[in-house]
Amino acid sequence: MPSPLPPAAAKSYIEQSADRFFYSNPDKLMDSPIVKVDDKFVPLYRIVWASDIPHFCGEPDCMHEGDYEIRLDVDDSLWTNAIERDEVVQALTRWCSDPRGEERGEEPGW
């Protein structure tokens, strides 16, 4: 019968796991170049642009009438409401004005 982790070890494991997703520290979440759109966590560097006005194309079967488009660099888009769109724009603004973004020549490894 497996013995449960001692409380200290369990806590450490939880913190390590959470840290990978930037949850352990709200400040870290604010700083992280990841934003949540339509229940998906999106790295800011994948975003090409965010729509200023709600989508309207007149197609009768359009699924995104009134949604705000967040364009991604993979020829795809996410669709969201005005509140999340604003959060995306704010996150992009923070990220683009982050002095650490000035670092050059170091692409993140894939």
Residues forming contacts to Zn ion in the complex (CB under 5 A) are 57, 59, 62
Element (H, E) at 87: helix 82-96
* Shortest distance in whole angstroms from residue 65 CB to Zn ion: 6
**Minimum CB distance to Zn ion, residue 3 (Å):** 57
53 or 57, CB closer to Zn ion? 57
Nearer to Zn ion, 1 or 57 (CB): 57
Contact yes or no for 22/29 (Cβ under 8 A): yes
Q: Could you tell me if 21 and 14 are in contact, meaning their C-beta atoms sit under 8 angstroms apart? A: no
Nearer to Zn ion, 1 or 63 (CB): 63
CB atoms within 10 A of CB 88: 23
Number of C-beta neighbours around residue 50 at 10 A: 21
User: At closest approach, how far in Å is the CB of 64 from Zn ion?
Assistant: 5
Please report how close the Cβ of residue 31 comes to Zn ion at its closest, in angstroms.
35
Beta carbons within 8 Å of 57's beta carbon, 6+ residues apart: 65
Nearer to Zn ion, 30 or 62 (CB): 62
